[in-house]
Structure 1
């Protein structure tokens, strides 16, 4: 795979600009990566990022890190009301955050029954990840249960 950066920092595959897009960014981030050209068509497919040879793997990981931003919620501090829309104050791995939850449908369960992974979409489109809702402190779980 002939992957490199041009002088402007764009990722190039065989001299053509591409953007990496994960097939399953939350559930299987290492599996299935598409390199998409400016016209939206796939130029290459990577089955597993971890098996991609260096330096291409490093370039792809750098590009993905710039494009993907999914803070992980560590604690729910406050919820303005138990009906939506409501204003939430949370602590994430990237620092404190206040956001508006428009509706209960903006909290999605990931995985099968009994799994604690959640994805929360704020009113501004930012996606927050909860790796395991059962691992949150008791007060956070109580606040969250009102919306599930």
Structure 2
């Protein structure tokens, strides 16, 4: 179901999003921000200006015309880099800091975990692990990891 939008969304020559609102005002450098990036990524997206003020609220991404949806998804992909851990291959030790070798949806990665406090629960079974560089790795459902991965992870939970 597509909804009628009261604004125009385009890209300028420099790749920045441009919003022409219902009042005819042009806003350059518009950024999409998800309200619930992990638990409900397609619902609740704000288009904000360069000062952080909300210009448009999008209830559901799939309701937008395809060209607008593609612009927003492309911009979000550049802003949100969060590899999803599929398997934990190796942990150098069970004392932090330690080195983790993991398989993600973007390939294998090696990172340093500074402390156990850098593993945060999001929901009952989902976790975010932040490495020493500030990169976030997502485990969507720890119960779906293989036995070896769960065993390694359990040492830190």
Tell me what 2:23 maps to. Answer: none
Tell me what 2:54 maps to. Answer: 42
Correspondence 1:89 to 2:95: no
* Post-superposition CA distance 1:25-79 (Å, at most 9, x none): 0011011111111112111111111112232111111111111111111111111
TM-score normalized by the length of structure 1: 0.93
Aligned length in residues: 145
Q: Which runs of 5+ in 1 are unaligned?
A: none
Tell me what 1:60 maps to. Answer: 72
Q: What is the RMSD computed on CA atoms of the aligned residues?
A: 1.1
Question: In structure 1, what is the Cα distance between the partners aligned to 2:130 and 2:62?
Answer: 29
Select the residue among 95, 98, 103 that pairs with 2:110.
98
Correspondence 1:13 to 2:19: yes
Q: Which runs of 5+ in 2 are unaligned?
A: 1-6, 21-25
Correspondence 1:147 to 2:153: no
Correspondence 1:69 to 2:81: yes
